Amino acid sequence: MVQRILFVRAVNVGGASMPMAEFRTLLTDLGATSAVTLIASGNAVIEIDMPTSGSTAEFDRRVEAGITDRFGFTREVISRSVSEVAAARTEHPLAVADLARSYVCFLGGVPTAEAIDAARLIPTGDDEWSLGGRDLHVRYAAGAGRADLDLNRLLRALGVVGTARNLRTVDRIHTLALSSTNR
């Protein structure tokens, strides 16, 4: 069994309703065990049997298809191992004055050098971003609700999908994963 942390992009916003109890049922129906969710924004800790489930990327694609079938909208699923989430948090390169204003945006791939050059042209105002492999780190000076940096525009320039969680949520999902291991 392999433990994974799933991040679903943009759920329970803009009419994309996905009750977490139904999401846990979907994950179980797809073969995950020990499915636990955190807050209503599409975060889950699961265990999957790799020989049965295929690769982690294949499982993520099946979850995406399941979301479309069960809930009627399409959303990307990005997963990481517990150690990858811990590393993303530990390696956060930007100053953190407030956990709610600092984010890790988990990316679906690694941007090309050309895409990174294009992304550097996006205005940021007082906000900052830094890229580390498949993790985009963002700090919003005045908070995400009053951001100068347009994260969606930045992701389009980088040419990858991503879903962002503030460091408070990253810490909580990591702690949940560690406690799930010890059950």
**pLDDT classification of 52: cutoffs 50, 70, 90:** low
CA distances from 36 to 46, 61, 135 (A): 7, 19, 23
Q: What is the pLDDT of residues 114-134, one digit of tens each?
A: 999 999 999 999 999 999 999
- Residue-level pLDDT at 17: 87
Q: Cα torsion for 66, 70, 74, 79, to the nearest 10°?
A: -40
Instruction: Give the pLDDT of residue 163.
Output: 95
pLDDT of residue 113: 97
pLDDT of 20 > 70? The answer is yes
Q: Is the pTM here over 0.85, yes or no?
A: yes
Q: What mean pLDDT do residues 170-181 have?
A: 90
54 vs 93, higher pLDDT: 93
pLDDT at 51: 64
Q: Average the pLDDT over 24-52 and give the result.
A: 89
The more confidently predicted of residues 7 and 1 is 7
Give the Cα separation of 90 and 125 in Å (integer): 25
